[in-house]
Amino acid sequence: FFFHELLLRHLPVVNNDNIETDQYFYLVLLLMHDHIEKSTSSLFELDDLFKRLVEQLKAYKSQEVFQSSVNDKILTGLLSLLSGFLSGEKHFRKLAEIFNTFLFATGKTEKDRANNWPKCKTDVNRELALRLLIRCCIEVPENFNRMFKLVKDLHRQVRKPTNFTCLPEDCSRKEDSYVGLQNMGYTCCMQAVLQQLFMMPHFRNAIVWSGDQSKGDPIFKQLNIISNELTKMFSYLMLSERDEYDLTTFCRLVKETLTSPVNEAIDQDATAFINSLMNRIESEFEGTPLEHFVEDCFSGQTVHQIQCQGGCNMIRERNQSFVMLSLELRHKRTLQESLQAYIQKQHLEGVECQSCLKKCNVLKREMLDRLPNTLFFHLKVLPCLRFEIHNAPFRVEKLRQYFEFPLELNLRPFTEERLRELEIAKLVEKDPNWKIENFKKRPEDYYKYRLVGVVVHGDLPTEGNYYSLIRDRKTNKWTKFVDNTITAFDIEDLKDECFGKEQSWVNHDKSAYILVYEREKFLLPWRIEMDLKYSKKTKPTTQDVVPNENNDGLAEWEKIGQTSPINPLQFLDVDTLKLIPSHLKDEIDNDNSKFMLHRQVINHLYFKFIFDIMRVMPLQIVKEYDDEKMNDNSNLPVIQLALKVCFGFVGRFGDNSVVFKKFIELLKWMLTSFAISIDSSVFYFCPFVNIIDNNKQIYTCRKIIYVYPSIDNVPACKRLLISWSKRPNFLEMNLLQWGEVAIVNGTSELLAHALKIVQPFEKELLGIIKKMNPGEEIMEVTSMGQIMTTLSSLIEIAPTCWNRFEHFFGIFRDFARLGSHNRRWLIENKFIRIFGEFFLGRESPYAKYTPEKQYPRMGTRSHIPRFDPLIETLSMLLCSCDTISIRSRVANAKTQQNLTENQRKNLLRLPDTSLPHTNKQGEKQLLEISEEDAELAQSKFFYMRSLPYGHSSKDVAKALFNFFCHWSFENEQFTNEICNVVNDGLNASCLNNEGFHHLKKSRLFILLIGQLVAIEDAYQLLRCIRLFDPNSSGAYNVISTCREQKPSEIFLIIRHLVRIMAKNKTFHQFMLQRRPNWEWWDAWLSDFVHGKLKVEPSRTTDLDTSSNEAFLQMYLELVSKNDVKIIQTKYCQHIPPNGTDLSYRSEEEDDVHNASNEDRKEST
């Protein structure tokens, strides 16, 4: 009764400070769980309460807001209760409503705003709602299908991000902040100016208003492309929820229309852009109510005065308009000093006077006359920048001197009015009877200005960076605009930010470049003032309207009509939002909706939701497997959506490494989950899978367990490979261009996984091509062939990505490892030559065929390319081919008639390292190598170039050893060649003065000696002689020469040779026959073990004395009793008898493959 009547029937419906709602709901949930445990009946005995809860959730108006982490506790409680109800029964049909109204409504439509949708705006409640949806899908296929359709429809509305570090939350407009402008390259000067113009209320409002006037006139819109684009830009800056506006279209239009277009590739001058932009706007507004708009806002007038000094003494004056005043900066410390220099008289010699027509000296000066409400000052040095052209050719230096400017400025001392007053005062002082003429006198408010904006220039003069400091006209707060980064600015820091350096030794690159001053109290523009003064008004006009606190100037103008030019002051106090054209509002709302969906989808909570939904995907159960008939099975669309989310969204998420790896594992599971049931009535859906063995899987659902066979999902793997084979740009970006390790690893890992699954089904068809219709490209029949063909086309661009192509070539290596059919395909498609030429470049044996070809250089001194998988692939392919000697032996076995069965088998015997191909008759045979491919196998430069990669990679070392052994088998010429390489490498490693760091490389050659002498053929003894005979330059020569200088290294070499003796009977007998040559080992080893020899300091900590004592004892027993079993049983028990062990150490020693990457760099 307490639970049913008092608690559930009286759930809180509004937030109340007097009720601890979280504790209330916590109590209800505890009681509900207790009810579930004790009751055998379903919770749906409380069906009326369940329905009431659902209706309450539907009707509840969430109190959550965007950009706030405070969750609505009532909504949290209601969602938790509903989740508790659904723990017993999952057949809930309100999935679409929760999905659309609680989670993925954008909040931008009228309906969304009225209901405050989405209801769940905080992470807490969004996670609760998403978990609720997942719970409804577990074990309920109908709900899963509904949810899949909802997710699929959602992704049709969301475009995948274009960049690879997408973080929509970081790209969102901050609360109470402005929208920035996207930097398109070298467009920072343009961005700084545009932000200054946008923050001018009258300019912004007039531009936005003009866009609404042209919407019905296509010709007007076509002619006014810049002003219309500014209208769109300013509207977006007002309403957009993104943190930046894309300037691509504006830059293109500016290039096409302005006299001084902006080039994104070149840093431009802000002053040139302002002048060009104003001229363009003025021309576009011609013949409209705004035709004098630029003039009324920014245009001023100076008086250019010249006075003759040699004859008539006449004074000539000329008025000149300006939009921006350029002031000299050199040797000036303040703005007032620059203005004083601007009006200073200049003496000019030899100027012809236009009045007396004599060449004489004249006085010239500039004076301010008519001033605009908004005044731009450009701080300059020749020619037009705040830079100085240095004496050296083409050298530009930025002036870094200190230059101060005030927050408030009175311009009267620099005007014609004030200068005439001073001149008349001087005349009156000389002659009190001087007749004073009347002249114009303006009020003091006319000259009082305040600083409202600064365009700052920083960094280097040839790679400049402009940004803006702007005062908000309403709040008087200052803001710093740097591209899309907008932060508050403390005006107290103006000196440090804009004045330049005060001392010459201070490194300071930031200084003011353009100053924006506005009149403290806006006055009527001069043009309108003159019209009012000299014209008789018969009716009110727009020019009479000056806005004030109780007067909306624009509204008054609209009442009067659009026949007269508009006064820009009418736009000062107008709400910009009311002026934005309706079509732009709709466009921006639509863009905000799309961006909101991006924020909701490209989000860690959503990715987790998709991951969990895919985990509960129902497997399609069929009686029998038919690859061709299963292309339309229900699993494929789910897998395709998972691939789209993984690579289109998760892979482009800024913080994706952990999530992306989980998705890759999930996709691999989905590609290996295809269930076959013996009983066709069994239709089962599994949320969790545990592998029991290779043939069966166990699927758990509550208390019932079903076991049935499961096989790989081949159709899905084929579709994946075919789909990606048609997207070379995707593969190029994910495998080569994009440097994110998780993306590269995941893409190559998933490809390798799909190839492995498909290979048994397609291996027999590899290499078969089809041509569907005339004119179409010839294409591989198999999905494996198609994807490998596409990947091979990317090899030519791989050199430009040399620091990232390791995983790309790893796919070819994994493909070759899958079987002989794959290796045959690679060989037939000439990959031995392709990879050999790629690896060796101009040193390859194929360079002679294309002497004009340019081979790109890969790597640097400090970083070398990772060719490991490419070398492994080449070694496998060469081990799959026959050699001259093997081909000759096989031919003899087939043609000679008088051979015994054992002799014939011996001739057909292949080396253990061979990778033969099994033909249709079941016979194992090596592929025939072409003369072209054989050139690489016989290239000494290939051996020398590839061996250093074996120092730090066990896989590369093993692959190369297999190649050398395969080609040495019954081949005297190759045997001699490779023995020379080993001896040269061993001598180069040991007989040098670079210390033990370089000696590590000798280990690889000692390991290779063990592999070569283990080859059982006619030249086994020859290899022993070439590699160890005292008369050769092999290992014995190295041991004898270096035993005094490098005893620790020689001890390790000897110990390994003893191991070879223990494993190889032929080598053991060979060594015993030459026992007198190495008898000195006995005393030398004893001295070394007992510390009588001087050991290199770098090796004192690496030697295990107890192990060395044991080895010495066993060695002495071996040589005294001549019994190899002593070493085999007591010291080398862990060594495989087949001689394939690559380790060169006991447990206490360093492994050969732990050599650092520095070793490989030096060798390379």
660-681 pLDDT, tens per residue? 999 999 999 888 876 655 443 3
154-164 pLDDT, tens per residue? 999 998 887 76
Residue 836 pLDDT greater than 60, yes or no: yes
Query: Angle at Cα 644 formed by Cα 638 and Cα 645, nearest 5°?
Result: 90
DSSP assignment of 814-829, as one string? HHHHT-HHHHHHHHHT
Residue 793 pLDDT greater than 70, yes or no: yes
DSSP assignment of 629-667, as one string? GGTT-THHHHHHHHHHHHHHTGGGBSS-HHHHHHHHHHH
- Judging by DSSP bridges, how do beta strands 924-925 and 917-918 pair with one another? antiparallel
Identify any residues that bridge with 674 across adjacent strands, giving them in sequence order: 711
Residue 734 pLDDT greater than 80, yes or no: yes
Q: Is residue 1061 within 8 Å of residue 1068, measured between CB atoms?
A: yes
Please tell me the distance from the alpha carbon of residue 693 to that of residue 924, in angstroms, as a whole number.
31
Q: Read off the pLDDT band of 217 (50, 70, 90).
A: low
- HSE-CB at 1013 with a 13 A cutoff on CA atoms is 29
Residue 553 pLDDT greater than 50, yes or no: no
Residue 1134 pLDDT greater than 70, yes or no: no
Residue 818 pLDDT greater than 90, yes or no: yes
Q: What is the mean pLDDT of the chain?
A: 80
Question: Which are the contacts of 871, defined by CB distance < 8 A and separation ≥ 6?
Answer: 839, 946, 949, 956, 959, 960
Helix, strand, coil percent content, the chain, rounded in steps of 5? 50, 10, 35
How high is the pLDDT of residue 771?
67
Q: Is residue 722 within 8 Å of residue 636, measured between CB atoms?
A: no
How high is the pLDDT of residue 922?
79
Three-class secondary structure of residue 948 per DSSP: helix
State mean pLDDT over 767-793.
84
- Judging by DSSP bridges, how do beta strands 463-471 and 621-622 pair with one another? unpaired
Q: Read off the pLDDT band of 555 (50, 70, 90).
A: low
How high is the pLDDT of residue 469?
96
State mean pLDDT over 560-580.
79
1155/1035: higher pLDDT: 1035
Q: Read off the pLDDT band of 1126 (50, 70, 90).
A: low
Residue 265 pLDDT greater than 60, yes or no: no
State mean pLDDT over 415-441.
78
228-240 pLDDT, tens per residue? 999 999 999 999 9
How high is the pLDDT of residue 546?
43
- Judging by DSSP bridges, how do beta strands 689-691 and 478-482 pair with one another? unpaired
994-1032 pLDDT, tens per residue? 443 444 578 889 999 999 999 999 999 999 999 988 877
Q: Read off the pLDDT band of 839 (50, 70, 90).
A: very high
How high is the pLDDT of residue 895?
87
How high is the pLDDT of residue 535?
60
CA-wise closest residue to 466 among 426, 421, 511: 511
Q: Which of 291-295, 558-562, 941-945 has the lowest mean pLDDT?
A: 558-562
How high is the pLDDT of residue 503?
57
Highest mean pLDDT among 93-102, 226-235, 433-442, 691-700: 226-235
Q: Which of 42-51, 174-183, 705-714, 736-745 has the lowest mean pLDDT?
A: 705-714
Tokens, residue 782: 């198999």
Query: How far are the Cα atoms of 320, 356, 358, 367 from residue 349, in angstroms, in the given order?
Result: 23, 15, 12, 21
Residue 361 exposed, middle or buried by CB count within 10 Å (0-12, 13-18, 19+) = middle
- HSE-CB at 595 with a 13 A cutoff on CA atoms is 21
Q: Is residue 803 within 8 Å of residue 865, measured between CB atoms?
A: yes
Q: Read off the pLDDT band of 258 (50, 70, 90).
A: confident
How high is the pLDDT of residue 465?
76
State mean pLDDT over 502-527.
80
Please tell me the distance from the alpha carbon of residue 1068 to that of residue 1124, in angstroms, as a whole number.
8
Residue 379 pLDDT greater than 80, yes or no: yes
Please tell me the distance from the alpha carbon of residue 457 to that of residue 466, in angstroms, as a whole number.
5
Q: Which of 107-111, 730-734, 808-812, 868-872 has the lowest mean pLDDT?
A: 107-111
Q: Answer left, alpha or beta for residue 752, where phi above 0 means left and psi between -120 and 50 means alpha.
A: alpha
What is 300-371+374-519's CATH superfamily?
Cysteine proteinases (3.90.70.10)
- Judging by DSSP bridges, how do beta strands 621-622 and 674-676 pair with one another? parallel
Q: Which of 483-492, 862-871, 1108-1117 has the lowest mean pLDDT?
A: 1108-1117
Longest dimension (CA), the chain: 147
CA-wise closest residue to 516 among 457, 567, 473, 452: 452
Amino acid at 59: A
Residue 1150 pLDDT greater than 80, yes or no: no
Q: What dihedral do alpha carbons 894, 895, 901, 902 form, nearest 10°?
A: -80
State mean pLDDT over 102-123.
90
How high is the pLDDT of residue 724?
96
Residue 557 pLDDT greater than 60, yes or no: no
314-362 pLDDT, tens per residue? 788 889 999 999 998 888 889 999 999 999 988 887 777 777 777 788 7
Residues above pLDDT 70, as percent of the chain: 77
Residue 1034 pLDDT greater than 80, yes or no: yes
Amino acid at 731: L
Question: Which are the contacts of 922, defined by CB distance < 8 A and separation ≥ 6?
Answer: none
943-982 pLDDT, tens per residue? 999 999 998 899 999 999 999 999 999 999 999 999 999 9
Q: Where are the domains of the chain?
A: 2-137, 180-294+524-583, 300-371+374-519, 610-793
pTM of the entire structure? 0.80
Q: Read off the pLDDT band of 622 (50, 70, 90).
A: low
How high is the pLDDT of residue 551?
43
Please tell me the distance from the alpha carbon of residue 556 to that of residue 577, in angstroms, as a whole number.
18
Residue 87 pLDDT greater than 90, yes or no: no
